[in-house]
Amino acid sequence: MAAHDGAILDAALRLLATAGYGGMTIDAVAAEAGVSKATVYLRWPTKADLATAALAHVRETGGTRVTGDLRRDLAAILGAMRRNIRRLSATGIIGMCLAEERAAPELLALFRERSIAPRRAELRALLDAARDRGELRDGADLDTAVDLLMGAHHARYMAGGPFPRGWEERVVSGVLDGLLPTA
Amino acid sequence: MAAHDGAILDAALRLLATAGYGGMTIDAVAAEAGVSKATVYLRWPTKADLATAALAHVRETGGTRVTGDLRRDLAAILGAMRRNIRRLSATGIIGMCLAEERAAPELLALFRERSIAPRRAELRALLDAARDRGELRDGADLDTAVDLLMGAHHARYMAGGPFPRGWEERVVSGVLDGLLPTA
Amino acid sequence: MAAHDGAILDAALRLLATAGYGGMTIDAVAAEAGVSKATVYLRWPTKADLATAALAHVRETGGTRVTGDLRRDLAAILGAMRRNIRRLSATGIIGMCLAEERAAPELLALFRERSIAPRRAELRALLDAARDRGELRDGADLDTAVDLLMGAHHARYMAGGPFPRGWEERVVSGVLDGLLPTA
Amino acid sequence: MAAHDGAILDAALRLLATAGYGGMTIDAVAAEAGVSKATVYLRWPTKADLATAALAHVRETGGTRVTGDLRRDLAAILGAMRRNIRRLSATGIIGMCLAEERAAPELLALFRERSIAPRRAELRALLDAARDRGELRDGADLDTAVDLLMGAHHARYMAGGPFPRGWEERVVSGVLDGLLPTA
DNA sequence: GATGAATGAGACTTCATTCAT
DNA sequence: TATGAATGAAGTCTCATTCAT
């Protein structure tokens, strides 16, 4: 209704990502959104509600087109994921969800539902299709493959160095080809 | 020096893991360690210093023995990692480091140095040895392989479901064997 | 004029009685009356004005008929008083008037004028008539008698126990008969 | 322990009496007691606790000596009661207890226990003794007599006029002698 | 070295009141 | 007339930090 909603949620999300839950003060949100604190409380009754709403407000961009080329499609998803994480400062958001898991499990649950699950489903669908086309080895462990694809970004970020050139393709190759000699 | 140091750091780490940085109040640390707040300040001048010291105080357990069997050795490391994460509530600690990265980058830096880097080095050494023994495909991308191995736990945890039986072995297989048919 | 007036005043009085002056928020009044806050402000410019108006709006019920039987007539008034107090949660209203006496003396003044004074006058008229009929002792202190009759309810309420069976009659007897032996 | 306790409770009680529960802000209490707000919270965890403690801290003065002269002894108690009420601004306190009865019944309960009950017991003991000495009419209703004695002050205060000269004695006479002619 | 007591700054939240529609 | 939206001021409470003993 009022146009302030979006500004408030954006500000909240930004603060959540950069300053954590503790750093997301209502004062700061209100100031950044250009409204008074009471205006924030008019919409969300508590700080926790605001945080949850901000998380639910995340809109990820860049749906990828499926081409049927497994390597290319998987890499496209990884690329979109990486860009979204950077754009939204999502490492901070993820950290906040994990850090608050004990105190506010709904944050992590929401993040799972909104961000993790859809991406996993996308990856899984690509792999299923490839298997149906006979492109994958018999008995390939697709569940684990999704874990490997999804975890690679976190591992790289946690390692601390830069993402190498062609990171997406290298991850996809790692998962598709494996380390062992063929035959 | 005094015997209180350990109790304080333990308490701080426990709170860091379960309540996040914001939830680790000096009051709570002092109470859990059985000392007065002033005693805490006698040792660490600020809350941030205490948090950093607590993180530096982490001692991971369960060094694994190297057998020369690559599958087994990699799985052993993953298993130790998983047990340590659970024992220390490390997902909360990792989340805290990520959430505070902007405000306190030294936390993530310390975590990288103390926890991430050694584990990556261990994995990398195993892979290097295997390559030297000729067990790996020519041109195998070991950097990426380490990312895949390190990220799998996070991806599984973020997915929300349980860890499957034989999780370590499945991850190792995924990384070694790949998804493609062996020509 | 508008039909909302009554609803607002009723809601205000109810809240005044049950939640005190502090608990009578304009938000609550408006919600309970089914109007918006601004509608309330359209009629009464401040919260204090609304409270005063609500108090002035009280209508006590159950005028008693005078029979000429002093005992019965006094008891009837006490009974009506007791029922009104219960119906209107008047102990809360009285408390509020006393609690706010320093801050808003007009509340207590209004309560005196609207509720206390008429009741005292009724009692006094009955006693005067009885005296004129020669039913009372010469030199009987009717001022004090009215105080005793009026105060009995408060004393019983403050004592905390239940009102005994036949309370009205017992109070009247106490005031008429006294404690000393006759003759 | 710390000498501030008394100052804080005194300030709280003063504000409770003059400004009501809502007007007793922690800010005001702290300022009047000459300490910081946090110091208040160090002792009483919530405002309600402070209010209760302040009420429990009331010390009434002027125990009366029993002479065996019923009229004089009753009047002495009424006089002490009246002086205490004035000294402590107790009408405000009573009002606050009544106004908050729904929200905080413990306040009224405490007031009953500390102030009402002892006074009633004193009066009752005097009356019982007089009865045992044969000074009272057979079957005199002493419960009701205590109500009359206790309520007289409230009734007079609520009436709004001044307390007449010899008020105590007039009340006692009213209760002892009654209004009816001595046959 | 240890502590109990104290506090300033700042957090979340409420509420009386105003105003454009 | 009626209202939804907005807000400044104020209130309760927390916490990192200091200091006298």
pLDDT at D179: 84
Residue A114's pLDDT band, with cuts at 50, 70 and 90, is very high
**Percent of chain B topping pLDDT 90:** 86
Mean pLDDT of chain D: 93
Taking residues C139-162, what's their average pLDDT? Answer: 97
DSSP classification of residue B47? H
Residue A64's pLDDT band, with cuts at 50, 70 and 90, is confident
Alpha helices in chain A (DSSP H): 4-23, 26-33, 37-43, 47-57, 70-87, 90-99, 105-111, 117-132, 142-159, 167-177
Which residue, chain included where needed, has tokens 């909104």? A114
Q: Do B and A count as touching (3 or more CB pairs closer than 8 A)?
A: yes
**Percent of chain D topping pLDDT 90:** 87
Query: Tokens standing for B64?
Result: 């694994």
pLDDT in tens, B6-28: 999 999 999 999 999 999 999 99
**Looking at the predicted structure, is the pLDDT value of residue C1 above 60?**
no
Taking residues D161-183, what's their average pLDDT? Answer: 91
D70-177 in CATH: which number? 1.10.357.10
Q: How far is CA B167 from CA A122, B121, C91, D90, in A?
A: 22, 21, 69, 73
> Which of A144, A179, A181 comes nearest B145 by C-beta?
A179
Q: CA(C37)–C1'(E19) in Å?
A: 13
Chain A segment 123-162 residues within 8 A of B by beta carbon are: 127, 135-138, 140-156, 158-160
**Looking at the predicted structure, is the pLDDT value of residue A182 above 90?**
no
pLDDT in tens, B105-145: 999 999 999 999 999 999 999 999 999 999 999 999 999 99
Which of D147, D153, D182 is the mutation pick for testing C, counting most C CBs within 10 A?
Answer: D147
- Fold (CATH) for A4-57: Arc Repressor Mutant, subunit A (1.10.10)
**Looking at the predicted structure, is the pLDDT value of residue B183 above 70?**
no
pLDDT in tens, D33-90: 999 999 999 999 999 999 999 999 988 777 788 999 999 999 999 999 999 999 999 9
Does residue D4 lie within 7 Å of nucleic acid chain E, judged by its CB? yes
Q: CA(C35)–C1'(F3) in Å?
A: 9
pLDDT at C172: 97
Which residue, chain included where needed, has tokens 């008034």? C77
Taking residues C80-84, what's their average pLDDT? Answer: 95
User: Do D58 and D115 touch, CB atoms closer than 8 A?
Assistant: yes
pLDDT at A49: 95
- Fold (CATH) for B70-175: Tetracycline Repressor; domain 2 (1.10.357)
C-alpha angle B128-B134-B140 in degrees, rounded to nearest 5: 60
CB distance D178–C178 less than 8 Å? yes
C4-56 in CATH: which number? 1.10.10.60
CB distance D160–C109 less than 8 Å? yes
Bases of strand E lying below 7 A from some protein CB = 1-20
Residue C142's pLDDT band, with cuts at 50, 70 and 90, is very high
Query: CB < 7 Å to strand E — which of 22-41 in chain D?
Result: 35-39, 41
B4-56 and B70-175 share one CATH topology? no
Mean pLDDT of chain B: 94
User: Do C8 and C29 touch, CB atoms closer than 8 A?
Assistant: yes
Q: Where are the domains of chain B?
A: 4-56, 70-175
Task: Round to whole Å and give the CA distance between D12 and D52.
Answer: 10
Which nucleotide lies at the shortest CA–C1' distance from A43?
Answer: F5
Q: Is C96 exposed, middle or buried (0-12, 13-18, 19+ CB in 10 A)?
A: buried
Does residue A2 lie within 7 Å of nucleic acid chain F, judged by its CB? yes
Task: Round to whole Å and give the CA distance between A23 and D151.
Answer: 57
> Which of B91, B116, B147 comes nearest A98 by C-beta?
B91
